Structures are given as C-alpha cells and as structure tokens.
C-alpha cells in the first residue's frame, strides 16, 4: 500500500482507497480534511452527506492537534445550515457549546451569537456578552468586534447613557480592526468619520473603510463609495464612487444597491440609465432598504425605468410608511387624499399625514384634508417645525 503522510493535504489520482483506509484508522485531522474536500468538491466529488459523516467522525474522535474541536465546529455548521443533514438549531447549539467549552475562540464567538439571537437556545444577552468577552480575550477578531457592539448598545452589559457610546466599544473595534476583521474596520471608520469616542478624522475614516472594502465587506464598499462621492478623506471621484457602489450592490448590500440606482438615475460616474436605476432600486427595496422602497414607489408613480403603475407605487409607499420612514407616511397621505393607487379616503389621509408630522415632516400642512381637519386640533399637538 502506498504510504500517506499524516498531514496529507491532497488526494492524488490512485490514492483514494488507501487514504480512506488511513482515515478510518481514526485520525481526526485527516477526517476533518476529507470532510472539507467533500463539502467544497476539492479534487473529489462534492457530496454534502459524506462531508457531514466525516465531520461527525472527526468530532467524535480523539483530540489530535485540534482536529476534534474543528470537527465539532464544522458539525455545528452542518446542523445550523442543513448541510448533509436536516437543519437542527438545537443540535447546532450543542456542538458549538462543546467547542466553546473546550477553548475554541471561534466557537465561543458563535455561541455568543446564538445566545444573542436565541438560536437553538433561550435568548440570553448576558451569556452572549460573556462568551463574546471570552472569545475577544482569546484573540478572535469577530468576538472583539461583537464585544464592542455590546458595549455600544448595552447588550448584556451597562450602556454609557450619557455619552451614548462606551469608550470600551471604540477600543474593542480598534483591536478587532487591527486584527483584520472587515466589520470591525468598517465600524472603526464610522467612529473616525463622526468623531465617536475619538477625534474626528476623515482621513482615518477613509483608510479604515478602504481596508474593509478591500476585504470584500459590502458595507465597507458602500461607505467607501460614499467617501469618494462626497470627498471624505479623499479627492471626490464619481467614477470610483460608482465602482465601489457596484461592488457593494453585487455583494447584496441594500444600501449599495440603492446608491447604485441613484447613480444610474442621475448619471453619476456612469451613463444615465433609468431601466438599470429601477432594477437596482427594486433589489434594494426587496432587501428591506426603506429608501429603496420609497424611491421604488416614486419610480412606479412616475414611470421611471418601468411602466407607470399607481397601485404598485401605493403598495411600496405603504411598506416604507409602515416601517417608520417619515416621508413614506406623507406620500401615503397624498395617495389617500387623491385616490392614487387606492380608494380616496380623507380620514386615512389625515392619519398618515399626522404620523408624518409627528415624525418631523411638515410638508403635510399643505395637503387639503390635513389643513381642514387640523383647524379643530391645537397646533401644539403636532409639535413645532
């Protein structure tokens, strides 16, 4: 039998059977490696069921140079996403718990996420904070970033109410960013841009957003486009702004998709194209972006890049209004006032206009039914503009 080295990475032609026999001897690192190969189809046919089985062997095997812990983590991943097995959040949690308790800082980070969101276990923000802390102190950049987020928002720990942003949040974002975490880099860029717990520094904001963007973080790419478009920490460059918005949009970022639609609509850094503007705003709206939803309604209402359709316009305005955008209720009030895309209803027009006014939008004062009905309401009930 041809010998196979203990740390064999590849499976060369003709070695498959010997390698399998070797793995069945109980080497959990080799079992883990084979699981990865089946999972990703690396020099072997992709097979998620076999990937799961080899991860299971590795997870249940002896702890050989950390292979057992990594196997447990991979098994948790399989149960979490239904890879080669029926999705089971509780089993995913149990395997992540095993790896966390055995000292794996990545498993500790994942366990924090699951406690924070109540995935496979009861939601417990204090336990989430504690596991993020353990992970962060162990050097995991994702754990460091999420620990910063906890300090910022008072998740499982006291929030700095007076200053709205704990100094510890900034420090952990900094550590995470320097450790290479793209989200931590993005968060640090935000801190420097707005002078949060540090001196405002647009040059540093740009540099950290650049690092995040180059590590394929779609949010970092969006904000880098924003920096180029507005000359924040760099020279204004519409073409570069467009390119970074495009990267962000293709990565599924709803803010990037909305901004890309804006570029196509107005010819910023690219040729004006209303059809593409509509398509990207549609993607943004479907991704839950309230600006995308609002302006998609605008496109349907005015026939921009699509056939004019007042009923669809109304539906998108309704969606953004229900999600709390103050411009959405105003336009919805206009729709009810004029019967655009829906039945005319002055009472509903008033109610949505009132909601918009309470949110700070005083354009509503010019809608006829709102003016008529507010004659009977004290103006201080609406606040002051």
* pLDDT tens per residue, range 327-365: 677 777 778 877 888 888 877 877 777 777 766 665 555
Please state the rounded mean pLDDT for residues 250-269: 96
169, 186, 215 - which closes a domain: 215
CATH number of the domain where residue 65 is located: 1.25.40.10
Question: Does 62 fall in a domain?
Answer: yes
Asked if residue 96 has pLDDT above 70, the reply is yes
Q: Could you tell me if 84 and 144 lie in one domain?
A: no
Contacts 24+ apart (CB under 8 A), 113-117: 113/146, 116/146, 116/155, 116/156
Instruction: Give which of 181, 190, 98, 209 is closest to 152, Cα–Cα.
Output: 190
Residue with the bigger pLDDT between 223 and 294: it is 223
Q: Residues 72, 150: one domain? A: no
User: Domain of 203?
Assistant: 123-215
Q: Are 132 and 172 members of one domain?
A: yes
pTM, full prediction: 0.77
Q: What percent of the chain has pLDDT over 70?
A: 82
269 lies in some domain: no
Q: Do 156 and 84 fall into the same domain?
A: no
- Domain boundary among the residues 215, 245, 279 is at 215
Q: Is residue 320 part of a domain?
A: no
Instruction: Please report the sign of the dihedral spanned by the C-alpha atoms of residue 76, residue 78, residue 82, residue 87.
Output: negative
Average pLDDT over residues 165-190: 92
Q: Is residue 227 part of a domain?
A: no
pLDDT reading at 62 higher than 90: no
Domain boundary among 215, 247, 280: 215
Domain assignment of residue 55, yes or no: yes
Using CB atoms within 10 Å of the CB of residue 159, give its burial: 0 to 12 exposed, 13 to 18 middle, 19+ buried.
Answer: middle
Q: Are residues 95 and 159 in the same domain?
A: no
How far apart CA 266 and CA 339 sit, in angstroms, is 30
Residue 58 lies in a domain: yes
What is the pLDDT at residue 350?
Answer: 79
Number of domains observed in the structure of the chain: 2
Is the model's pLDDT at 73 over the cut of 60? yes
Residues 57, 129 within the same domain: no
pLDDT, mean of residues 253-274: 96
Q: Please state, rounded to an integer, the average pLDDT across all residues of the chain.
A: 83
268-327, pLDDT tens digit by residue?
A: 999 999 999 999 999 999 998 988 998 999 899 899 999 999 999 889 888 887 776 666
| 131 and 74 share one domain | no
Tell me the C-alpha distance between 283 and 305, whole Å: 14
Same domain, 135 and 199: yes
Q: Is 330 a domain residue? A: no
Same domain, 71 and 135: no
Cα angle, residue 115 at apex, residues 81 and 28 outer, rounded to 5°: 50
More confidently predicted of 314 and 2: 314
The whole-number pLDDT of residue 176 equals 96
Backbone angles phi, psi at 364, to 5 degrees: -60, -20
Assigned domain for 205 exists: yes
Q: How confident is the model at residue 12 (pLDDT cuts 50, 70, 90)?
A: very low
Residue 330: the pLDDT is: 76
């Amino acid at each position: 039998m041809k010998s196979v080295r203990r740390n064999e990475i590849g499976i060369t032609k003709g070695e498959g059977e010997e390698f399998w026999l070797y793995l069945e001897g109980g080497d959990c690192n080799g079992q883990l490696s084979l699981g990865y190969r089946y999972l990703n189809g690396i020099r072997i046919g992709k097979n998620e069921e076999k990937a799961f089985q080899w991860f299971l062997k590795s997870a249940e095997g002896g702890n050989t140079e950390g292979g057992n812990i990594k196997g447990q983590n991979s098994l948790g991943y399989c149960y979490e996403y239904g890879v080669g097995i029926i999705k089971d959040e509780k089993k995913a949690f149990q395997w992540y718990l095993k790896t966390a308790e055995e000292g794996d800082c990545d498993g500790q980070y994942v366990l924090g996420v699951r406690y924070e969101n109540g995935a496979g276990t009861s939601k417990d923000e204090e336990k989430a904070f504690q596991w993020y802390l353990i992970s962060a102190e162990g050097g995991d950049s994702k754990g460091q970033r999420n620990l910063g987020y906890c300090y910022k928002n008072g998740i499982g720990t006291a929030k700095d109410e007076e200053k709205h942003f704990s100094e510890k949040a900034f420090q952990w974002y900094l550590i995470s960013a320097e450790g290479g975490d793209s989200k931590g880099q993005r968060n640090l860029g935000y801190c420097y841009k707005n002078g949060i717990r540090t001196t405002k520094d647009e040059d540093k904001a740009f540099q950290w957003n650049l690092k995040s963007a180059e590590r394929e973080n779609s949010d970092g790419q969006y904000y880098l486009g924003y920096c180029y478009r507005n000359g924040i920490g760099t020279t204004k460059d519409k073409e570069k702004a467009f390119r970074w918005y495009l990267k962000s949009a293709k990565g599924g970022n709803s803010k990037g998709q909305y901004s890309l639609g804006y570029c196509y609509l107005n010819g910023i850094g690219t040729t004006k194209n209303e059809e593409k503007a509509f398509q990207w705003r549609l993607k943004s709206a479907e991704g839950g972006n309230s600006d995308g939803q609002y302006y998609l309604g605008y496109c349907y209402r005015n026939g921009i890049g699509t056939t004019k359709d007042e009923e669809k316009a109304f539906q998108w305005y309704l969606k953004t209004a229900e999600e709390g955008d103050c411009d959405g209720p105003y336009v919805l009030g206009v729709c009810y006032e004029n019967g655009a895309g829906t039945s005319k209803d002055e009472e509903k027009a008033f109610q949505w206009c009132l909601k918009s006014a309470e949110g700070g939008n005083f354009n509503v004062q010019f809608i006829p039914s709102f003016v008529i009905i507010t004659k009977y309401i004290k103006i201080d009930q609406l606040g002051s503009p």
